[in-house]
């Protein structure tokens, strides 16, 4: 056994916990109240992306509150928490409970580090696949959060169907297949196979198979559980949600360096309050 690699010989610290996954963090962790919740916060070195202060979650919470479904006091189902940044935000907004399902083993362990560091007592992180969880559970949640997960699914429309069945309202952020985007940037189309028409639960739609390729070689890989996934077009995402009962919708798209991103909230028309 390599004792130096296995054991620490320094006093406990927040940075020690973060460094278990040194070089693998996607999230920029905020200062940590160490060692107790009422202690002064100490800075930690982690990743580049400020997911613990994500305006997408603020936007979703504001829209849902306008529809009479504020996060405070609600049961929230979060799919693909990654490293717990959005989970922490939802807890900070007063969610009664956040159940977060993570399929990536290393991401799950990072979520447990975050839960301990930030004292997320109302969050539960479960290790497993989101779609299979939704197939088996009979629980109903007030709000479903699916940020950065839909475009990693082999059958994304099934995930939309199951979310609509188990949640009164949903927030989704995803990249989507935008033909106009790839007309402008044809080189970015290289990882996609030709589109296929398919159907799920009576909803016909097109899928675009995306191959992860070399991204699978990184320890911090946070994509899907298959070497490929299927992207949907915007119209098929919104259409699927409406088909499965979430017809009250507000959404917009915005380009980033990788693709066109779709941000939306959707609710059953009789589910406010």
The pLDDT tens digits of the residues spanning 94-115 come to 999 999 999 999 999 999 999 9
| Dihedral sign computed on CA atoms, order 255, 27, 52, 44 | negative
pTM of the model: 0.93
pLDDT above 70 covers a percentage of the chain that reads: 94
Residues 6+ away with beta carbon under 8 Å from 264: 171, 172, 173, 237, 238, 241, 249, 250, 251, 252
- pLDDT value of residue 228: 86
**What's the rounded Cα separation, in Å, for the pair 136 and 40?**
43
Q: Are 41 and 32 in contact (CB under 8 A)?
A: yes
| Dihedral sign computed on CA atoms, order 236, 140, 134, 78 | positive
Q: Are 34 and 13 in contact (CB under 8 A)?
A: yes
Across 156-180, average pLDDT? 97
- pLDDT value of residue 34: 95
- pLDDT value of residue 80: 96
What are the angstrom distances between the C-alpha of 73 and each of 57, 60, 93, 95? 16, 16, 9, 5
- Given a cut of 70, whether residue 219 has pLDDT beyond it is no
Residues 6+ away with beta carbon under 8 Å from 81: 87, 100, 101, 102, 107, 111, 125
Quickly count: other Cβ atoms within 10 Å of residue 215's Cβ: 13
**Topology of the domain comprising 52-267:** Rossmann fold (3.40.50)
């Amino acid at each position: 056994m390599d004792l130096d690699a296995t054991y620490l010989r320094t006093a406990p610290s927040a940075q020690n916990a973060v460094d278990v996954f040194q070089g693998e963090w996607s999230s920029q962790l905020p200062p940590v109240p160490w060692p107790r919740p009422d202690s002064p916060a100490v800075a930690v070195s982690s990743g580049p992306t400020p997911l613990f202060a994500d305006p997408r979650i603020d936007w979703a919470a504001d829209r849902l509150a306008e529809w009479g479904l504020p996060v405070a006091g609600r049961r929230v189902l979060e799919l693909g928490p990654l490293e717990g940044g959005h989970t922490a935000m939802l807890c900070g907004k007063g969610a009664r409970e956040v159940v977060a399902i993570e399929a990536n083993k290393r991401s799950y362990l990072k979520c447990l580090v975050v839960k301990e560091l930030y004292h997320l007592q109302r969050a539960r992180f479960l290790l497993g696949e989101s779609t299979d969880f939704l197939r088996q559970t009979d629980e109903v949640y007030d709000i479903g959060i699916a940020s950065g997960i839909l475009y990693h699914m082999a059958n994304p429309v099934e995930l939309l169907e199951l979310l609509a069945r188990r949640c009164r309202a949903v927030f989704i952020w995803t990249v989507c297949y935008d033909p106009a985007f790839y007309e402008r940037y044809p080189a970015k189309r290289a990882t996609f196979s030709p589109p296929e028409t398919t159907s799920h639960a009576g909803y016909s739609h097109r899928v675009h198979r995306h191959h992860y390729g070399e991204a699978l070689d990184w320890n911090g890989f946070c994509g899907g559980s298959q070497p490929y996934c299927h992207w949907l077009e915007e119209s098929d995402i919104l259409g699927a949600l409406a088909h499965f009962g979430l017809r009250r919708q507000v959404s917009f798209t915005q380009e980033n360096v990788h693709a066109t991103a779709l941000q939306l909230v959707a609710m059953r028309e009789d589910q406010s309050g």
